[in-house]
Chain A
């Protein structure tokens, strides 16, 4: 396997999964492997800018983690999941790349060879 697509469909802070997904991506990049993150469903909340978990839940800030994988790896954010949650493009961090269902299909189909899929 040459690259990884990590799929996150849970909201950050509510679950450990988003942090763990970024930790895997960071480890892969440090080992010379591209590890893109795909945010789907409630996972799209991880790409919203201006998050302030410090002083509240005191969890790591997922936005800061997202900048540790960018630009070596991509952060795909599913547009339909954003619309369902009234999240607009301008609400997202710069590193986020919004993709629609057609682009999502292309990403999944075009990168299946030698690509591992990890769902958190």
Chain B
């Protein structure tokens, strides 16, 4: 049964670790899928090394490509944003098409803005 806009809850996930070295983004994706299945609105904020995650043209040989799953979740309505300070430091904000389509490069000010409107906040940080 579809929920009314007032009944829809919001989950915000903040992740700080990059892909492959840690499993956090896979855990985040699992949580996101579960939340979407429970009709949550989901926000995902990429902070520090997590700003590496949506980089295009990744080609891991031993692990699932994190971008493939993120692409599907963005299509399902997940709002993914990356910290501009962190993305710039890592060389992702200067290239116009560095990131997967749909990922917004914004500021750390989105964290309080999102948290104010969230029912649950989860951080995945090492």
Chain A positions within 8 Å of B, measured between CB atoms, are 1-2, 4, 16-17, 20, 23-24, 27-28, 30-31, 33, 35, 116-120
| B contacts with A: majority SS | mixed
Give the distance in Å from the alpha carbon of A28 to the alpha carbon of B111 in the complex. Answer: 8
Q: Is B109 an interface residue (CB 8 A)?
A: yes
Q: Quick one: given A16-B48, A24-B111, A30-B109, are A119 and B125 in contact (CB under 8 Å)?
A: yes
> Separation in Å of the A30 CB from the closest CB of chain B?
7
Q: Total A-B residue pairs with C-beta atoms closer than 8 Å?
A: 54
Q: Quick one: given A1-B121, A33-B116, A116-B121, are A23 and B16 in contact (CB under 8 Å)?
A: no
Give the distance in Å from the alpha carbon of A35 to the alpha carbon of B16 in the complex. Answer: 18
Give the distance in Å from the alpha carbon of A35 to the alpha carbon of B111 in the complex. Answer: 11
Q: Cβ of A27 and Cβ of B116 under 8 Å apart?
A: no
Interfacial chain A residues near B14, Cβ < 8 Å = 118
Considering only CB atoms and an 8 Å cut-off, how many residues of chain B contact the other chain? 20
Interfacial chain A residues near B86, Cβ < 8 Å = 20
Cβ-neighbour of A28 out of B107, B112, B119, B123 (below 8 A): B112
Q: Cβ of B107 and Cβ of A27 under 8 Å apart?
A: yes
Known: A27-B112, A118-B14, A118-B125. 11 other contacts (CB 8 A): A1-B115, A1-B116, A17-B125, A20-B16, A20-B48, A30-B109, A30-B112, A116-B115, A117-B121, A119-B125, A120-B16
